[in-house]
Amino acid sequence: MQGICGILSSQGEDETALFVSATFAQVSLTPPLVVINPNRTYSIEPAISRTGRFAINVMPASSQEQIIRLMAARRRQPNRADVVGLVVSESEHRIPFVAGALQTLFCEVESSIDAGDRKLYVARILETRTAARVELPLLFSAVSGGPRRYVALQRGVRTVLARSGALDILKKSYHRLRPPAPPDIALNTYEEAGATESEIATIESYGLLDQSRRLSPPPKARPVTRSLGVCVVGTGWGSFHCNLLRQVNPAAKLFVCGRNPDKTARLAKSVKAEDFFLGLDQAVADPRVQALIVALPHDLHRTAAEQIAAAGKHALIEKPIATSLADADAMILAAKRAGTILMIAEDMHFRPAVTEAVKRIFAGEIGEPLYFFGHAAGVRRPRGWAAQAERMGGGVLMDMGVHYVRGLRLLMGEPESVLASRAMQIDTKISGEDNVQLIFSNSVGWEGHLILSWASARGHLPDIVIAGDKGTIHLWPGTSYIDLYPQDPPLIPRLLSMVRPYWLQEKLMRPQFGRVRISLPEKEASGYQAEVREFLAAVAEDREPASPAEDARRDLEIVLSAYEALANQRRVQVVQVKS
Amino acid sequence: MTSPYLNSALIDSIVGLVLVKAGDRSNVMTVSFFSEVAHHPTSLWVSIAKSTYTHSLIEETGKFSLVVLNQTQGKLALACGTSSGRDRDKCAGLDLYPGPEGHLFLNGALASTACSVRQAVPVGDHTLFIADILHADMESRKSHLRQLLLSDLQKI
């Protein structure tokens, strides 16, 4: 029944709603009226119902790939036009329309008819625009079934099979082996694509759009060619930052700042620093220094940030932003008042694998993302200030939690509540917790499970898994690839699943047969370099960084909620973030 | 011979036939104003000009068949769409076969569906018949062909 393929567009409450439709048609000549039947479980239907206006964008045959991508994109994905690269503009009728359509009909609803899981809208035409070029319209049969390879070959084989009658014979033979259910078109169509009122109510209860995600992976920063004076503060983890800076911007003038004269001089010499300072006072006062990278104990972040801002210098401060929200707010305020940049070093935000995974989720490759599993484990024995809960702000939950909370926020969205519990303490030499597990929830319908541990061995496990109804993505720390396990497995495992006896199938089958490994173009997999590059670019271009300090404050807020949940052994609501 | 649908249609669309049998009378009419309604209940709509013979037969029986034509059936579509069944028996020359419950199906089409009218809604000069789909036959031997379009008819 489906014929010409087009896109219905209408203005939703928060964004333009788009829906691929092949079931629009004219319904009368005088007056000229059209009928559409948008799916009630997509955002297009409420958009049309709200505004009473929509456009039918009849797409050309050449737009096949883009339409397939739009159809494959996640149903509840906001801003679907951006995800598939469609250009949407608004007409003088205040109706959004898609660029590149063969024909666009701007319509106003005259009446609607309740008709089951779709709603019929009868509409009059306000205006019709037709493209000058002559091209066949796209047919639904060319886009149904998703992306295809060897299209011409498939079409040829199908033609031969159909014309020769072999298709009939094949069907009959198959039905002899597996007799089909008695023809019941109503039941079959319902089971394949239909929905009852109660099913629609269930779908709607989670929201037709998943608006829980507030963060986006950053765009690539432009390389900085200017020679900036950058001082790394702290001689422990600071040495790592010195090397990073050298890799990212060899032209930067590097300075080192520490408390211990011998250690600081040694580090300055080993990283070929221009000079070194003993104490932050000296570093911020030096006119050769424009920006500082701070790798100090967590409880010193606030003082350092305020001092740097007061001197009119820019700061990249190691995560977590602080150990309390009051400190974080004071730091943000100080930078705002001084008009300086305050960025928190959260490498998870810049990890190429996370960026790629977000892209794949948006594209609908795992369907609805339902579960996030984060597993940051590995035996570690923190000592010195890191072993003191007051200075660290806690234990592993504070130290590692902010990273994985950021991962959760990028990949799934903002959590609404958190539960926490923990296993026994192994490392009795630290006053903070050495392991914890958290369960995050959001009413849009996803759950996040996080295990953070310095006490348990990790093994060869992905550190993040996102599981959806159409597939699973595995992320590995420090790798330049991600693994996608589609729900519909590739040909080899599909064939092997038919092998009998089972012991032989087990011998032949390998887990990697069901995997699609996606290589990332970036050489640096950790995100550390990209994070420093972004900071330097923000300083050089005098702009806000891609991930401002407020993002890190929110990470801290969520982690502190998890601490509250752990202390009180109850689910804690995480304060809602404003859009 | 011509049809107002060829010149006045706003959107290119697929072309089909509506077949109606009322007692010993039957008729066929070419249509391009039809589409799917819903997946649950499985239903379609077809819009028929109020002045047509087909309209009166559907009103009388409450049932019809909708046949989706393939790209090679343009002449058949024109033949069934440019004259009235009141004047001649347009079904006479067609390769029809009986579908379920007295519905007429067409050999060589992409699909034939047996429909039962659930609701009739007046829209301008037409009536929108919303109908439950009772049964459908697909033609495997024609499955490699695409649907017939209004724009195909304009080229004949």
More confident residue, A397 or B4: A397
Q: Which of B123, B150, B154, B155 to mutate to test the interface with A (most CBs of A within 10 A)?
A: B123
Say if CB B80 and CB B69 are below 8 A apart. no
- Pick from B3, B7, B34, B36 the residue to mutate for testing the A interface (most A CBs within 10 Å): B36
Please report the number of interchain residue pairs, chain A to chain B, with beta-carbon separation below 8 angstroms: 168
pLDDT tens track, chain A, 579 positions: 567 899 999 999 989 999 999 999 999 988 999 999 999 999 999 999 999 999 999 999 999 999 999 999 999 999 999 999 999 999 999 999 999 999 999 999 999 999 999 999 999 999 999 998 888 889 888 887 666 666 677 778 878 888 888 888 888 888 777 777 667 888 888 988 899 999 999 999 999 999 999 999 999 999 888 889 999 999 999 999 999 999 999 999 999 999 999 999 999 999 999 999 999 999 999 999 999 999 999 999 999 999 999 999 999 999 999 999 999 999 999 999 999 999 999 999 999 999 999 999 999 999 999 999 999 988 999 999 999 999 999 999 999 999 999 999 999 999 999 999 999 999 999 999 999 999 999 999 999 999 999 999 988 889 999 999 999 999 998 889 999 999 988 888 888 988 999 999 999 998 888 899 999 988 889 999 999 999 999 999 999 999 999 999 999 999 999 999 999 999 999 976 554
- Which among A2, A25, A141 is the nearest to B11, CB-wise? A25
Residues 96-135 of A with CB under 8 A from B: 103, 105, 113, 115-118, 120, 122, 125, 128
Interval B13-67: pLDDT, tens: 899 999 999 988 999 999 999 999 999 999 999 999 999 999 999 999 999 999 9
d(CA A137, CA A64): 10
CB contact (8 A) between residue B42 and residue A23: no
Phi-psi category of residue A420: left, alpha or beta, with phi > 0 → left and psi -120 to 50 → alpha: beta
Backbone φ and ψ for A182, nearest 5 degrees, come out as: -55, 140
Q: Quick check: A189 contacting B, CB < 8 Å?
A: yes
Packed helices A301-310 and A325-338: angle between N→C axes, nearest 10 degrees: 10
Give the nearest partner residue to B125 out of A29, A115, A118, using CB atoms. A29
The answer for A 13-72 residues in CB contact with B (under 8 A) is 23-35, 37, 56, 58
Q: Do B39 and A31 touch (CB under 8 A)?
A: no
pLDDT value for A148:
63
pLDDT for res A153: 79
The CA distance from A169 to the nearest CA of chain B, in Å, is 10
Nearest to A122 among B42, B123, B135 (CB): B123
On whether the CB atoms of residues B43 and B130 are closer than 8 A, the answer is yes
Cβ distance of A115 and B37 shorter than 8 Å: yes
Alpha carbon A246 to its chain's center: 30
CB contact under 8 A, B144 and A115: no
Min Cα–Cα distance to chain A from B27, Å = 21
Under a CB-based contact definition with an 8 Å cutoff, are residues B115 and B63 in contact?
Answer: yes
Q: Where in chain A is the domain with CATH 2.30.110.10?
A: 6-142
Distance (Å, whole) CA A230 – CA A256: 8
Pick the CATH number of B4-155 from 2.40.110.10, 1.20.1290.10, 2.30.110.10, 1.10.357.140: 2.30.110.10
**3-class state of residue A43 by DSSP:** coil
- End-to-end CA gap in chain B: 12
Using CA atoms, how far residue A545 sits from A119, A213, A316, A534, B11, in Å, is: 45, 19, 10, 7, 49
Fold of A6-142: Pnp Oxidase; Chain A (2.30.110)
Beta-carbon separation of A116 and B147 below 8 A: no
Chain A positions touching B146 (Cβ under 8 A) are 139, 141
Query: A91 vs chain B: nearest CA distance in angstroms?
Result: 19
Tokens of A520: 């990332």
Helices (H) and strands (E) in chain A, counts: 20, 24
CB A374 within 8 A of CB A448: yes
CATH code for residues A229-345: 3.40.50.720
Beta-carbon separation of A125 and B10 below 8 A: yes
Residue A577 confidence (pLDDT)? 57
Question: pLDDT at position A579, please?
Answer: 45
Chain A CB contacts of B36 under 8 Å are 1-2, 23, 37, 118
| Nearest by Cα to A534 from A194, A221, A76 | A221
Gap from B90 CA to chain A (nearest CA, Å)? 24
- Side chain identity at residue A118, one-letter code: R
**Separation of alpha carbons A402 and A408, rounded Å:** 10
Structure tokens at A518: 């996606």
Domain boundaries for CATH 3.40.50.720 within chain A: 229-345
CB proximity list for A241: less than 8 A, separation 6 or greater: A232, A234, A293, A295, A532
DSSP A39: B
Write phi, then psi, for A277 (nearest 5 degrees): -125, 145
What is the C-alpha separation between B61 and B84, in angstroms, rounded?
Answer: 19
Q: Rounded to an integer, what distance in angstroms lies between the CA atom of residue B44 and that of residue A23?
A: 10
Chain A contact set for B122 (CB, 8 A): none
The matching CATH number, chosen from 3.40.1650.10, 3.30.390.30, 3.30.360.10, 1.25.40.10, for A350-526+557-573 is: 3.30.360.10
Q: Answer whether the bond into residue A31 is a cis peptide, omega within 30°.
A: yes
Domain chopping of chain B, boundaries: 4-155
Exposed, middle or buried by CB within 10 Å (0-12, 13-18, 19+), for A549? buried
What are the chain A neighbours of B37 within 8 Å (beta carbons)?
37, 115-116, 118, 120
Burial of A220 (0-12, 13-18, 19+ CB in 10 A): middle
pTM: 0.90
Q: Measure in Å the smallest separation between the Cα of A173 and chain B Cα atoms.
A: 14
CA A484 to chain centre: 15
Nearest to A107 by CA among A17, A22, A32: A32
Residues of A within 8 A of B147 (CB-CB) are: 3, 139, 141
Q: Would you call B38 and A118 a contact, using CB atoms and an 8 Å cutoff?
A: yes
State yes or no: pLDDT of B3 exceeds 80.
no
How far lies A335's CA from each of A223, A285, A316, B43, in Å?
A: 24, 17, 11, 62
* Cβ–Cβ gap A141/B147 under 8 Å: yes
Bridge partners (DSSP) of residue A291 are: A230, A314
Chain B positions touching A33 (Cβ under 8 A) are 123-124
Cα(B55)–Cα(B66) distance, rounded to whole angstroms?
A: 14
